Amino acid sequence: MGRYVVRRLLQMIPVFIGATLLIFLMVHVMGDPVAGLCGERRCDPATAARLRQEFGLDQPVWQQYLTYMGNIVTGDFGTAFNGQEVTELMSTAFPVTIRLTLVAICFEIVIGITLGVLTGLRRGRPVDTSVLLVTLVVISVPTFVTGLLLQLLLGVKWGLIRPSVSSAAPFGELLVPGLVLASVSLAYVTRLTRTSIAENRRSDYVRTAVAKGLPRRRVVVRHLLRNSLIPVVTFIGADIGFLMGGAIVTERIFNIHGVGYQLFQGILRQNTQTVVGFVTVLVLVFLLCNLVVDLLYAVLDPRIRYA
Amino acid sequence: MRGGTHARWVVGAVAVALAATACGSESSGGSADAGAVLSASWGDPQNPLEPANTNEVQGGKVLDMIFRGLKRYDPETGAAENMLAESIETSDSQNFTIKIKDGWTFSNGEKVTARSFVDAWNYGASLKNNQRNAYFFGYIEGYDKVHPDSGEQTADKLSGLKVVDELTFTVKLTQKFSTFPDTLGYNAYAPLPRAFFEDHDAWVAKPVGNGPYLVDSYTKGSQISLRRWEEYPGDDKAQNGGVDLKVYTDNNTAYTDLLAGNLDLVDDVPAAQLKNVKKDLGDRYLNTPAGILQTLAFPYYDKAWNKPGMEKVRTGLSRAIDRKQITETIFHKTRTPATDWTSPVLGKDGGFRDGLCGDACEYDPEAAKKLIKEGGGLPGGRVTITFNADTGSHKDWVEAVCNSINNALDNERACTAGPVGTFADFRSRITQRKMSGPFRAGWQMDYPLIQNFLQPLYYTNASSNDGKWSNEKFDDLVDRANRESDPAKAVELFQQAEEVVRDNMAAIPLWYQNGSAGWSERLSGVKLNPFSVPVYHEIKVS
């Protein structure tokens, strides 16, 4: 087990380097960021040159990349164009997005899996059909439509929530944005769980458990659900990274100042340091999530062993 | 029933939050409350909040509240009036003696002296400080030493600035510039306290100025809380207790928040909401001209656009654009068709002349076709209008302009829209002279002077002359206007220069942009100044 983890961690290094290099090059291809700093006019050449020097933009790309990677190792992610350290931006943005992601994941697990088990056990009944129909609708409606609609109904028409999230972004205010963010994945989780449960219901170990005279609740939770969760866990694990980076739309609608907002701002202003810094951390989150998911397989299914 | 208790908890929390906000507004009572704080929408400033480093409207909003300069532009007329300046005297339009009023202090108690200005201007001009607005000091003698175009700076201070005594300093310019005093209302010329130089990081984290508000707290990227400065020595004291500026990524969210009662003031009503705004807000909506002009500029470094006869083609293109229809259908009258190259906010005396463009800006498909034919046709038979697609509704109007041109010329392929992903990339293509046809050019004035609408944009090698247009006659008229000490005569010369721009159709004027604002029932007295920034200190909260 320990060896497996070490091997996986070592494998992350090339993935990490490759991903950051790609991002670095992509942002670089977008052109000269200094040109956008002076509004609708040409930066005077002397100031532009000084700015380029300050942000290291006067060096060749490969050198910029090496310097950047060297700095990252020491925990220095550089400075954004507005004079803020990127680490400072991260320290304000990531907690917010992590809270949002947690809310979303909770919705996925609690509602998604519950509905999945319910429909899986009652396949073909009215409950199953109606839930399937609802998930179909949720999947096919884009997030921003759901978001704007809920914001308008709950926030403006009925006055139940604040349409925007305050800068402190406590859990209470993140419930609706979290639900919106989770909606599509939630529908997928429901469908995945349902299929998995329906399939495993007829397997030998379930029949054995029922034949042993175990209570129904125990059969469903301990035997059926645990084994059916493997595809769901894979999906949710990958979804954590996706939710954190892909919250741009939701964060924009509800004015949440998280990772999505910083990335959006960074891309608009072609702020290499911000974009690469945030994406680097997101890449790490993705890699770690995947590792945790793989380790969870062994916990869920005793047949899987890592040497 | 875990879900049930959960939901009840949520409703409870919401109820508490609502009750809390309700209490907050109730305590302020019915009539105007000088202590009440209002909340307003804001955008994250692009650069640190230093006066000489802020060149966009979001940072400008804050500077406008926490600083007062030598001059201030009247929020309604745009006229430059003395603020901190007791007098600004000159006998030759080149050497100025500036006297400051006694009794002004910064909010930390430090006295505002001649040195506060001279130090601030030296800081702003100095190359090593990377100030984006450094070129504003370009007219002052010694600028080429502290801010050379290339190489190291050889001086730290502008030789043209001299402190005479505590409240007097002199300014020497490199050339005659009669309207120089009227430019001094711009934020870049604000005075700075010693704290700015001694502990710069602390100052940037929480700026200290001499305006009617002081910074209570500043969380970068999300909110700045400004509170009334009780000891403010000026006449324009804040009429409210303070302003909380909240960062919104999307102005649609700000507008929704306004409707839900979470926000008091939105100063940029999104285009998508314009058709609902009357129904949503009634008369709590304002739509007034601002000092912003949208034009189409041309790449004069491209031979195809610079050969003789092309002025006819450019004029033809101008006449092929149905400005009235576009401003009505796409912008819901938040733009006004342009008839000159300045802005209505200047007023008649300031140099705005309605209809100076004349026929050249009138929509007339027949004339357009004829002019373009006479001028030798479009280069390569077609044009592409380049614009940045990341902000505003540029895509919509560029496509509309193209449609209008195509219809006028009876050629579906005459004009196409050429989007560029980001503003930064768009700007860098312009500076690298990579444009091959007309491109979007917007101009937001720095100060309400006709000079600011012409010289930076059309003077040979000027800072915003993106198309690199050059015309001796124009340059000569501008030089003469700057030398002229009588303001009325100067304006007249500038208008003559503007006529040169018209005759060559150096850039096609499209429309004047309006500023818009919507506010909650709590507010009264909301106004926008010519820079389309709300006049925060005059807003009353009830």
Q: Which of residues 182-201 of B touch A (CB under 8 A)?
A: none
Mean pLDDT across the stretch A72-93?
A: 85
The complex's ipTM works out to 0.84
Closest residue of chain A to B11, computed from CA coordinates: A160
Chosen for mutation from B132, B219, B247 (greatest number of chain A CBs closer than 10 Å) is B132
Q: How is chain A split into domains, by residue range?
A: 91-266
Q: Any chain A CB within 8 A of the CB of B517?
A: no
Q: Any chain A CB within 8 A of the CB of B223?
A: yes
SS3 sequence of B232-263: CCCCCCCCCCEEEEEECCCHHHHHHHHHHCCC
CB contact under 8 A, A172 and B17: yes
Nearest CB partner across the interface for A40, out of B249, B428, B443: B443
CB contact under 8 A, A38 and B254: no
**In contact, B462 and B456? CB cutoff 8 Å:** yes
Residues 6+ apart with CB under 8 A from A53: none
Q: Any chain A CB within 8 A of the CB of B458?
A: no
Long-range contacts of A138-143 (CB under 8 A, 24+ apart): A138/A183, A138/A184, A138/A186, A138/A187, A139/A184, A139/A187, A139/A188, A143/A180, A143/A181, A143/A183, A143/A184, A143/A249, A143/A250
pLDDT band at B7 (very low <50, low <70, confident <90, very high): very low
pLDDT on residue B19:
41
Please determine, for residue A49, whether its predicted confidence score (pLDDT) is greater than 50.
Answer: yes
CB contact under 8 A, B430 and A35: yes
Closest residue of chain A to B428, computed from CA coordinates: A35
The DSSP H or E segment spanning B442 is strand B439-444
Please determine, for residue B32, whether its predicted confidence score (pLDDT) is greater than 70.
Answer: no
Q: What's the rounded Cα separation, in Å, for the pair A180 and A157?
A: 18
CB contact under 8 A, B247 and A252: no
Please determine, for residue A61, whether its predicted confidence score (pLDDT) is greater than 90.
Answer: no
CB contact under 8 A, B422 and A270: yes
The number of C-beta contacts closer than 8 angstroms across A and B is: 176
CB contact under 8 A, A160 and B134: no
pLDDT band at A79 (very low <50, low <70, confident <90, very high): confident
For the beta sheet containing B161-165, the strands, ordered from the edge strand earlier in sequence to the opposite edge, are: B85-90, B95-100, B168-172, B161-165
pLDDT on residue B26:
38
At B239-274, the pLDDT tens digits run 999 999 999 988 889 999 999 989 999 988 887 788
Q: What's the rounded Cα separation, in Å, for the pair A191 and B135?
A: 62
Chain B hits for A167, CB-CB cut-off 8 Å, are 219, 222-223, 246-247
Nearest CB partner across the interface for A38, out of B132, B429, B441: B132
Residue B424 to chain A, least CA–CA distance (Å): 4
Closest residue of chain B to A147, computed from CA coordinates: B253
Chain B hits for A58, CB-CB cut-off 8 Å, are none
C-alpha closest to that of B446 among B70, B73, B94, B119: B73
Mean pLDDT across the stretch A291-305?
A: 82
Mean pLDDT across the stretch B320-348?
A: 91
Q: Which of residues 426-455 of B touch A (CB under 8 A)?
A: 426-432, 441-444
Q: Any chain A CB within 8 A of the CB of B46?
A: yes
For A8, list phi and psi in degrees, rounded to 5. -65, -40
Burial of B70 (0-12, 13-18, 19+ CB in 10 A): buried
Nearest CB partner across the interface for B46, out of A31, A37, A151: A37
Nearest CB partner across the interface for A163, out of B262, B464, B466: B262
Residues 6+ apart with CB under 8 A from B55: A38, A39, B47, B132, B133
CB contact under 8 A, B249 and A163: no
Mean pLDDT across the stretch B82-110?
A: 94
Closest residue of chain A to B295, computed from CA coordinates: A40
Residue B72 to chain A, least CA–CA distance (Å): 23
Mean pLDDT across the stretch B68-96?
A: 92
Chain A hits for B250, CB-CB cut-off 8 Å, are 252-253, 255
pLDDT on residue B392:
66
Q: What's the rounded Cα separation, in Å, for the pair B212 and B202?
A: 21
The amino acid sitting at B140 is: I
pLDDT on residue B327:
92
At B196-205, the pLDDT tens digits run 999 999 999 9
Nearest CB partner across the interface for A35, out of B56, B219, B428: B428
CB contact under 8 A, B257 and A50: no
Q: What percent of chain B has pLDDT over 90?
A: 64
pLDDT on residue B31:
58
Q: Any chain A CB within 8 A of the CB of B373?
A: no
Please determine, for residue B20, whether its predicted confidence score (pLDDT) is greater than 60.
Answer: no
Q: Any chain A CB within 8 A of the CB of B44?
A: yes
Mean pLDDT across the stretch B378-401?
A: 88
pLDDT band at B427 (very low <50, low <70, confident <90, very high): confident
Nearest CB partner across the interface for A45, out of B11, B56, B149: B149
Chain B hits for A34, CB-CB cut-off 8 Å, are 424, 428
Chain A hits for B154, CB-CB cut-off 8 Å, are none
Output the DSSP codes for A247-274: THHHHHHTT--SHHHHHHHHHHTT-HHH
CB contact under 8 A, B132 and A37: yes
pLDDT on residue A307:
58
CB contact under 8 A, A156 and B149: no
CB contact under 8 A, B249 and A252: yes
Chain B hits for A253, CB-CB cut-off 8 Å, are 250, 253
pLDDT band at B419 (very low <50, low <70, confident <90, very high): very high
Residue B376 to chain A, least CA–CA distance (Å): 31
CB contact under 8 A, B14 and A160: yes
Say if domain A91-266 classifies as CATH 3.30.300.30.
Answer: no
CB contact under 8 A, A155 and B256: yes
Nearest CB partner across the interface for A270, out of B249, B424, B463: B424
Chain B hits for A35, CB-CB cut-off 8 Å, are 424-425, 427-428, 430-431
pTM of whole model > 0.95? Answer: no
Find the range with the poorest average confidence among A241-245, B37-41, B360-364: A241-245
* CA B293-B294-B300 angle, 5° bins: 115
Q: Any chain A CB within 8 A of the CB of B17?
A: yes
Chain B hits for A41, CB-CB cut-off 8 Å, are 456, 463-464, 466
pLDDT band at B391 (very low <50, low <70, confident <90, very high): confident
Residue B501 to chain A, least CA–CA distance (Å): 19
Chain B hits for A155, CB-CB cut-off 8 Å, are 256, 260
The DSSP H or E segment spanning A175 is helix A175-200
- Average model confidence (pLDDT) across chain B: 89
pLDDT band at B147 (very low <50, low <70, confident <90, very high): very high
Paired tokens of B450:
């006709």
CB contact under 8 A, A81 and B47: yes
pLDDT band at B421 (very low <50, low <70, confident <90, very high): confident
**In contact, A101 and A243? CB cutoff 8 Å:** yes
Residue A175 to chain B, least CA–CA distance (Å): 9
Q: What's the rounded Cα separation, in Å, for the pair A91 and A76?
A: 13
Beta bridge mates, B385: B417
pLDDT on residue A243:
86
pLDDT band at B319 (very low <50, low <70, confident <90, very high): very high
Q: What's the rounded Cα separation, in Å, for the pair A105 and A181?
A: 9
The amino acid sitting at A45 is: P
A59-63, A96-100, A165-169 — most confident range: A96-100
